[in-house]
Amino acid sequence: MRAFVLTDPALASHAGRFVWLDLNTDETANEPVLQKHEADALPTFMVVDPKDERVVLRWVGSLTVPQLEAFLEEARATLRGVGKAASPEDAALVRADALYGARQYAEAAAAYREALAKAPTGWPRYSRAVEALLYSYQSTDAYAQAVALAREARSRLAGTPSALTASLGGLDSALELPKDDAGRAAGIAEMEAALRAAVADATVVVAADDRSGAFGSLLQARRQAGDEAGVKSVAAEWAAFLEGEALKARSPEERAVFDSHRLSAYLALGDPGRAIAMLQASEKELPRDYNPPNRLARAYASLKEWDEALAASSRAAGLAQGRAKLRVLSLRASLLEEKGDVAAARRTYDEAIVFGEALPADERPVKTIEQLRKQREKLLAPPKPRE
């Protein structure tokens, strides 16, 4: 959405109302601020009170221009104290937002539930509260509650961008339910149908990445069902959608926005070769970006063209810095493992861990390094004996 929503001229009227800051989470220099204002998922938007650096309003995920404008207005109103005691539902919402801002998701969920229970029909904050509650449930593994919320909210959200969000969160949550959960199959079926309908509803304006993300979840549902033909069918639809969006791009940067999802769709189609020309073009047009060669490495590896894959990975490593370099090296290690070269995979993990630990202490991505150690340990673990 960064390439599309944040470039909308309609936002110009808000320019003087906030101080604007973007934080690239790949930049290790941002590590101290990201420890203070943690983003559990990307994108995340926060409005911070500069007096005490408290997050007064948080939004996780992309949003449309009208949603962003409403978010900005609500943040300003919250800071001015407007609505604090206006109604019981608004008072509960203010509490919920403060807890959500502080990433206390279980407590935030309780407060959002209270706000929704007290809210009259037509409450203007209904959709935002539902989206935040859904994310709070997902963040605390309360998947059954998330499915129930999506089911309950779906009809009230019909015709809005939040209808897609609710169905998507509902389907993702249903897929996370334990395999022996009595409501799992029905939940998946209902949410899959709802999400299909939301994706197909061309009258609702949603960001391209929201629609594309929905295809990713639909594909996952078919994959979990063991429906290989269904996987291919969704992947073909997804690829066609993304190719159409890429055709609308006004610049190489805008077109490359769709490369990662297109690669995922082509991989799901079993046709990684279709990504090669696209990624080669992106690498040529965006020569300082490590992403195109890194994606090329994945595509070539899927074709078992190992020399090309490792050469592309080396080009990506040469361009990447900080956390991005760790990502490139991690991918290279997993490709080497796929190739069957465990010793080289191990060396690559070691290289990544050494690189990460050499970063200045306050910039060190500790969680990422820990994850690399776990991946390395997994690689070293002897295979489980067959039963």
Partner 1 sequence: MKRPLPLALAFTFGAVTLAAGAGRDDMRPLPFHSDAYPKALAEARSRDLPLFIEAWAPW
Residues 127 to 156: which contact partner 1 by CB under 8 A?
A: 131-132, 134-135, 138
In 81-224, alpha helices (H): 88-101, 105-118, 126-139, 143-157, 161-176, 184-200, 208-224
Residue 387 is a binding residue for partner 1 (CB under 8 A): no
Of 19, 85, 358, 361, the residue at the interface with partner 1 (CB under 8 A) is: 19
Q: Which is nearer to partner 1, 99 or 164 (CB)?
A: 164
Residue 175 is a binding residue for partner 1 (CB under 8 A): no
Question: Which CB contacts under 8 angstroms, 24+ apart, belong to 111-118?
Answer: 112/136, 115/89, 115/90, 116/89, 118/87, 118/88, 118/89, 118/92
Site for partner 1 in 318-357 (CB under 8 A): 324, 326-327, 330-331, 334
Residue 47 is a binding residue for partner 1 (CB under 8 A): yes
User: At closest approach, how far in Å is the CB of 210 from partner 1?
Assistant: 4
Size of the site for partner 1 (CB under 8 A): 97
Give the whole-angstrom CA distance, residue 97 versus residue 46: 11
Residue 375's alpha-carbon distances to 229, 364, 371, in angstroms, are 32, 18, 6
Q: Single out the residue of 85, 118, 78 nearest to residue 101, CA to CA.
A: 78
Residue 300 is a binding residue for partner 1 (CB under 8 A): no
Residue 385 is a binding residue for partner 1 (CB under 8 A): no
Contact 342, 349 (CB under 8 A): no
Q: What does DSSP assign to residue 30?
A: G
Residue 74 is a binding residue for partner 1 (CB under 8 A): no
Residue owning tokens 């309780």: 110
Of 12, 229, 277, 381, the residue at the interface with partner 1 (CB under 8 A) is: 12
User: At closest approach, how far in Å is the CB of 383 from partner 1?
Assistant: 21
Site for partner 1 in 241-280 (CB under 8 A): 251-254, 256-261, 264
Kindly give the pairing relationship between strand 54-60 and strand 44-49: antiparallel
Q: Which is nearer to partner 1, 111 or 134 (CB)?
A: 134
Residue 22 is a binding residue for partner 1 (CB under 8 A): yes
What backbone torsions phi and psi does residue 54 show, to the nearest 5 degrees?
-80, 140
Site for partner 1 in 48-67 (CB under 8 A): 48-51, 53, 56, 60-63
Name residues whose C-beta falls within 8 Å of residue 330's C-beta, 6 or more positions apart in sequence: 349, 352, 372, 375
Q: Which is nearer to partner 1, 9 or 120 (CB)?
A: 9
Q: Which is nearer to partner 1, 187 or 292 (CB)?
A: 292
CB neighbourhood size of 170 (10 A)? 29
Q: Which is nearer to partner 1, 3 or 111 (CB)?
A: 3
Of 39, 225, 236, 311, the residue at the interface with partner 1 (CB under 8 A) is: 39
User: At closest approach, how far in Å is the CB of 86 from partner 1?
Assistant: 20
